[in-house]
Amino acid sequence: MSTRPTDEGLALSVEVVVFGVDDSDLKLLARRREGEPFAGRWALPGGLVGGDEALEGAARRVLAEAGGVSPAYLEQLYTFGAIDRDPRRRTVSVAYYGLVRLADPRAPASAPEGGAAWFVASAAPRLALDHDEIAATARRRLQAKVRYEPIGFELLPRKFTLSQLQALYEVILERALDKRNFRKKILAMDLLADSGKVEADVARRPARLYRFDERRYRRLCKQGFNFEV
Amino acid sequence: MSTRPTDEGLALSVEVVVFGVDDSDLKLLARRREGEPFAGRWALPGGLVGGDEALEGAARRVLAEAGGVSPAYLEQLYTFGAIDRDPRRRTVSVAYYGLVRLADPRAPASAPEGGAAWFVASAAPRLALDHDEIAATARRRLQAKVRYEPIGFELLPRKFTLSQLQALYEVILERALDKRNFRKKILAMDLLADSGKVEADVARRPARLYRFDERRYRRLCKQGFNFEV
DNA sequence: CCAAAAGTGTTCACGGTACACCCATGC
DNA sequence: GCATGGGTGTACCGTGAACACTTTTGG
C-alpha cells in the first residue's frame, strides 16, 4: 500500500498557537522563522519533536524558546499532515493551542524576546506554510470551547472584574453581550469568589475584583454541573 | 533541549476506532495483532503511515485491510504520543474514529474478514498498548459530537424509522429519551425527508421511513441553524 | 382478538432575552 | 459637578420535560 516506510524523510514537529487578551483585542504570538523554507517570514512557534520528548513537552519547550512564554492553559488542537504542507520534506505537525495572561501586573511578557511578537488576531500578517490554517482552527476551537469550559479565566489576571470578563467573552465570541444578563448568569453559577478588593487607580467608581474558584468548580462538576456561557 | 532528533527511531502510525450500531448495541471493531509486541492480542486497526501517504488516507487503508471496512464518516480524534506507550520503539499515533452502517441491507460487512471482529463497546476485551484509552476517548467524542452534529445518521441505513433513530441516540448517550419529545424535536428541525415508504415484514404496524436530507441541512446551517439533540 | 410498536398534544417550570436608571468615584 | 463605568430587577417568551392513550398491522 504505502511505498515509503515511515522513517524515510518523515519529520514530526509541534506548532503552537498562543492566545492572549489585551483588554480589547485577541492577540496571538508569532515569530520570525530562522530556518528555510521561508526564513524571515512570520510563523507559529514550533519545532521538531525530540525522540525522547513528550508532545506537550515539546510544545512547552518551543514556547520557552520563543519569547519565554509559559501558557496557563495548553491543549492539543489537531494534527496537520497534508503531504505537501512543507515543501522541503514530509512533515507531520501536532498543533497545540495555549492561553496566557497578558495583562497581569502591567505586562511583563508583553514584549516577548527571541524574534517573537504579539499580533491582533484579526490583523496578523500572513504566516508561513499552513500556519494560517492552524491559527484559524485554533481560533474556532477557542471560540467553541470557551463557551462550555471555564478556560477564559486563563486569559485574565487572577483577580478580575466582571466587566473584564465580559469584555473577554465579547472579544472571543465576536459579539456584544448584555451586561445585566451576563452578570446574572455568571454569578448564578457560583464559581467566582469575591476577593473583597476593588480596582485601584481608576478615575471612576472602582469595580469589585473576583477570583475563579477552581475547587468549587471541580466540586460542582462532580455533581453534574455544566459550565456554559 | 531535545537530545535525540526526530528521525532516530521515531515512528508515526494511525489507529482507528470504528463504531457501528446494531439496533441495540454500540459496537467497535478490533482485530488481532499480527506483529510484536502483543502479537495475537486484540487491538485497534492501525499501522505505520507511509512517507507519501496522507494521514486520513492511511486510516482508510488500514480499515480496508482490517475487514474491508469503509466508514461513512471519519474524523481525526487525537494524537497519542506518550514516550513509552509502545515498549519497542517511540511511536506517535494519530488516532481517527469512524462510523459505519452495520444494519444496511441485512449486514454484508457484519462478519468482517482479516482477523477483525465487532465487539459490544461496553464488553470489549482489553486492547493492547494504550488502545483502551484511545477507544474511550473516541467514545466520549462520539457521545459529545452526536449531540451537536448530525453524524448519528451515518450509523443508520439511508432510510430509517424514528424509533431506530431514537434507539441510536439512546445507545450512544446511554440514557432513555422520551418518545414524544424526541419525535417533536427531530421533526421540528425539518432535516428529515419522508421517503413515502414504510417498513416491510414487521409483525405490527409498520413505521414510516425517513431519509436525512443533507442538502437541506447545509442550507439551514448557512442561515445559522444549529443541530442539537 | 391479541400482541407489539407507531403515532400523537397539552401543561408546566425554567432559563434566555430584552430593556433603563441610579450610584460611587476621581478629577 | 461632571464624566465614567459600576451595579442592579422585572416582564415576557420560547424551549425542555413530564406524561397516557388510540391506532395500525400481522399473526
Mark yes or no for CB contact B3/A50 under 8 Å: yes
The pLDDT score that the predictor gives to residue B86 is 95
How many other C-beta atoms can be found within 10 angstroms of the C-beta atom of residue B19?
A: 24
Task: Tell me whether B6 touches chain A (CB under 8 Å).
Answer: yes
- Measured CA to CA, the distance from residue B9 to residue B53 in angstroms comes to 19
Here the cell at position A131 is: 500556519
- Measured CA to CA, the distance from residue A125 to residue A63 in angstroms comes to 19
In terms of Cβ atoms closer than 10 Å to its own Cβ (0-12, 13-18, 19+), residue A225 is middle
* DSSP state letters, A175-226: S---HHHHHHHHHHHT-EEEEEEE--S-SSPPPEEEEE-HHHHHHHHHTT--
- Give the gap in angstroms from C-alpha A41 to the nearest C-alpha of chain B: 24
Task: Tell me whether A24 touches chain B (CB under 8 Å).
Answer: no
Cα B90 from chain centre: 27
Are the beta carbons of B127 and B135 closer than 8 angstroms? yes
The rounded mean pLDDT for chain B is 92
Mark yes or no for CB contact A48/B5 under 8 Å: yes
Question: Which chain C positions have some atom within 7 A of a protein CB?
Answer: 3-10, 16-20, 23-27
The pLDDT score that the predictor gives to residue B67 is 85
Residue B210 above 90 pLDDT? yes
Are the beta carbons of A64 and A73 closer than 8 angstroms? no
Mark yes or no for CB contact B6/A49 under 8 Å: yes
CA of A135 to C1' of C16 (A): 32
The pLDDT score that the predictor gives to residue B174 is 96
CB contacts of B11 in chain A (<8 Å) are 6-7
pLDDT digits (tens, 9 = 90+) for A149-169: 999 999 999 999 999 999 999
| % residues pLDDT > 70 (chain B) | 92
How many other C-beta atoms can be found within 10 angstroms of the C-beta atom of residue A65?
A: 17
Give the residue with minimal CA–C1' separation from D26: B203
Task: Tell me whether B90 touches chain A (CB under 8 Å).
Answer: yes
- Give the gap in angstroms from C-alpha A11 to the nearest C-alpha of chain B: 6
Q: What confidence category does residue B4 fall into, taking pLDDT thresholds of 50, 70 and 90? A: very low
The pLDDT score that the predictor gives to residue A108 is 47
CA distance to A57, A67, A188, B65, B185, per residue, from B198 (Å): 56, 65, 49, 36, 21
- Give the gap in angstroms from C-alpha B53 to the nearest C-alpha of chain A: 7
Strands of B22-66, DSSP E: 26-32, 42-43, 46-48
Mean pLDDT of B113-129: 92
**Residues, chain B, total?**
229
CA of A182 to C1' of D3 (A): 25
Whether CB of A183 is under 7 Å from strand D: the answer is: yes
CA of A155 to C1' of D3 (A): 30
CA distance to A164, B9, B30, B45, B229, per residue, from B169 (Å): 40, 43, 23, 25, 9
Whether CB of A228 is under 7 Å from strand D: the answer is: no
> Residue A210: which of A161, A173, A165 has the closest Cα?
A161
Mark yes or no for CB contact B92/A55 under 8 Å: yes
pLDDT digits (tens, 9 = 90+) for A83-128: 999 999 999 999 999 999 997 544 444 567 778 999 999 999 999 9
- Measured CA to CA, the distance from residue B220 to residue A25 in angstroms comes to 31
Mark yes or no for CB contact B79/A82 under 8 Å: no
Mark yes or no for CB contact B90/A10 under 8 Å: no
CA of B187 to C1' of D24 (A): 21
Q: What parts of chain A have a pLDDT lower than 50?
A: 1-4, 105-109
Give the residue with minimal CA–C1' separation from C16: A181
Mark yes or no for CB contact B48/A2 under 8 Å: yes
Whether CB of A179 is under 7 Å from strand D: the answer is: yes
For residue A81, give the chain B residue with the closest CA: B55
**In this complex, which protein residues place their C-beta within 7 A of any atom belonging to strand C?**
A 178-181, 184-185, 202-206, 228; B 161-163, 179-181, 183-184, 198, 203-208
The pLDDT score that the predictor gives to residue A90 is 96
- Beta strands A91-100 and A11-21, pairing class: parallel
The pLDDT score that the predictor gives to residue B161 is 98
For residue A78, give the chain B residue with the closest CA: B78
Give the count of Cβ contacts less than 8 A between chain A and B: 112
Between CA A101 and CA A111, with CA A106 as vertex, the angle to 5 degrees is 70
In terms of Cβ atoms closer than 10 Å to its own Cβ (0-12, 13-18, 19+), residue B189 is middle
The pLDDT score that the predictor gives to residue B23 is 78
pLDDT digits (tens, 9 = 90+) for B124-173: 999 999 999 999 999 999 999 999 999 999 999 999 999 999 999 999 99
CA of B182 to C1' of D14 (A): 17
CB contacts of B60 in chain A (<8 Å) are none
Q: Is pLDDT larger for residue B133 or for residue B34? A: B133
CA of A208 to C1' of D18 (A): 42
